[in-house]
């Protein structure tokens, strides 16, 4: 079987753009949560989220392409360009028909949908600008990137909600292993939207001020936006072109809770972790770092902690677990893709980022969540676990190269 590695990284987030700025802010415990400025929140009880305030798409994308794309696509395209540059890819590195992409999302271009809806309500259906219509469907994330970079291989958008980034990376990994592609660009993206903010507020799942994963007094998650992209290729290919190698992908695992549309269930989460370890031929006590889904909602953190303890048993006491959503908020379809990048950087630098805002231990979440301060520690194996509405769970196993 081919050994598959990650050879390029691109990230757009509320705490930093580009892998270096992002990582520096992350290990410092920087919060990207701020007062929402993209729309009026006065009718709601919460007013904060993880908006990216300083993103100027024209700095990364041809301005002609910017005006043709919605914000989610702009984030995805910019992160893709950063990953492409970081991987030192040249035009002849891979035949275009052997270079594919797989992208995850939860909401796709909800801002475009909001514009369409507002125009319809205000002046009628026939007043809708027809230019907006083709910018909305889910496929636009992958197609916009493919046209920007010139990729002619397999092209997919995977909408498995908040686990979609891991699903996309896992499927891209399979395509290279099965010789259906030589290189893959994979990741996830979602833009901050009124629709997502309203939805999670109606579910009473949004914290008023900050995200506190695994803390006894946690009050909920924060809606956020972002994009994370990685370049996948065979180890042989990466070595031949002297590309940076951030991690080797050993395998991944999937599961479905088949339990509830929005509530997580620990047995389903545990199955995905167990499947990932089994495929990767890794024992639980070989794992150094577990990047948790860790949304900060009472149910998620409790069930995820139960799942960790079920899989890792007594070793749980020695396992470093952290939630970077404490800093970023929940970036939806981008979350697990960004968290894969977190794992790559942790493997590269032997540093585990913290779970900030942690104050009061919860007996139901009696794990080592690396509270508030990053930890210098050797990291050889990292797991990235994600869960989503609909019971979709995905876990990715990465090893230091």
Domain end marker among 240, 261, 296: 240
CATH for 255: 3.40.47.10
Indicate whether 331 and 393 sit together in one domain: yes
DSSP 395: E
Q: Which of 94, 330, 344, 395 is catalytic?
A: 330
Tally of structural domains, the chain: 2
Give the Cα separation of 288 and 7 in Å (integer).
21
**311 to 113, 268, 283: CA distances (angstroms):** 41, 11, 10
Indicate whether 234 and 254 sit together in one domain: no
Indicate whether 198 and 55 sit together in one domain: yes
Q: Which of 94, 102, 266, 293 is catalytic?
A: 293
pLDDT digit string (tens) for the chain, length 401 residues = 799 999 999 999 999 999 999 999 999 999 999 999 999 999 999 999 999 998 999 999 999 888 788 899 999 999 999 999 999 998 778 999 999 999 999 877 776 777 767 776 777 776 667 666 666 667 788 889 999 999 999 999 999 989 999 999 999 999 999 999 999 999 999 999 888 898 889 888 999 999 999 999 999 999 999 999 999 999 999 999 999 999 999 999 999 998 887 888 999 999 999 999 999 999 999 999 999 999 999 999 999 999 999 999 999 999 999 999 999 999 999 999 999 999 999 999 999 999 999 999 999 999 999 999 999 999 999 999 999 988 899 999 999 99
162 counts as catalytic: yes
**SS3 assignment, position 146:** helix
* Cα pseudo-dihedral 385, 196, 21, 91, rounded to 10: 80
259 counts as catalytic: no
Give the Cα separation of 316 and 357 in Å (integer).
21
- Angle value at C-alpha 298, between 297 and 302, nearest 5 degrees: 115
Indicate whether 290 and 142 sit together in one domain: no
Cβ pair 351, 372 in contact under 8 A: no
Domain range enclosing 356: 249-399
Indicate whether 26 and 166 sit together in one domain: yes
Indicate whether 214 and 307 sit together in one domain: no
pTM metric for this prediction: 0.94
Give the Cα separation of 40 and 38 in Å (integer).
7
Indicate whether 216 and 293 sit together in one domain: no
* DSSP H or E run through 342: helix 335-349
Q: Which of 162, 343, 369, 374 is catalytic?
A: 162
């Amino acid at each position: 079987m081919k050994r598959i590695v990650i050879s390029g990284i691109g990230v757009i987030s509320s705490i930093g753009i580009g892998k270096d700025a992002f990582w520096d802010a992350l290990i410092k415990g920087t919060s990207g949560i701020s007062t929402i400025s993209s729309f009026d929140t006065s009718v709601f009880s919460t007013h904060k989220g993880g908006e990216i305030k300083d993103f100027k798409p024209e700095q990364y994308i041809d301005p002609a392409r910017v005006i043709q794309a919605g914000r989610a696509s702009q984030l995805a395209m910019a992160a893709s360009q950063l990953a492409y540059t970081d991987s030192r890819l040249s035009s002849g590195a891979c035949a275009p028909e052997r270079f594919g992409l797989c992208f995850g999302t939860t909401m796709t271009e909800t801002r475009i949908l909001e514009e369409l809806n507002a125009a319809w309500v205000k002046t009628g259906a026939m007043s809708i600008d027809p230019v907006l219509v083709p910018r909305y469907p889910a496929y636009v994330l992958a197609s916009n990137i493919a046209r920007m970079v010139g990729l002619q291989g397999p092209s997919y958008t995977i909408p498995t909600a908040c686990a979609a980034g891991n699903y996309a990376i896992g499927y891209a990994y399979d395509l290279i292993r099965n010789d259906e592609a030589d290189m893959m660009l994979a990741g996830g993206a979602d833009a901050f939207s009124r629709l997502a903010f309203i939805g999670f507020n109606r579910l009473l799942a949004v914290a008023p001020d900050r995200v506190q994963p695994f803390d006894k007094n946690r009050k909920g998650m924060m809606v956020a936006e972002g994009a994370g992209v990685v370049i996948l290729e065979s180890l042989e290919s990466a070595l031949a072109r002297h590309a940076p190698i951030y991690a080797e992908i050993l395998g991944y695992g999937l599961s479905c809770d088949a339990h509830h549309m929005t509530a997580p269930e620990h047995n389903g989460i545990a199955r995905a972790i167990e499947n990932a370890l089994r495929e990767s031929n890794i024992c639980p006590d070989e794992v150094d770092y577990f990047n948790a889904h860790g949304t900060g909602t009472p149910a998620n953190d409790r069930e995820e902690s139960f799942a960790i303890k079920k899989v890792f048993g007594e070793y749980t006491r020695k396992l470093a677990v952290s939630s970077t959503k404490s800093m970023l908020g929940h970036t939806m379809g981008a979350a697990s893709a960004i968290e894969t990048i977190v794992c790559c950087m942790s493997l590269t630098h032997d540093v585990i980022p913290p779970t900030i805002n942690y104050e009061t231990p919860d007996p139901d979440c009696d794990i080592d969540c690396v509270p508030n301060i990053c930890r210098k520690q050797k990291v050889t194996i990292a797991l990235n676990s994600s869960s989503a509405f609909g019971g979709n769970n995905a876990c990715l196993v990465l090893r230091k190269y």
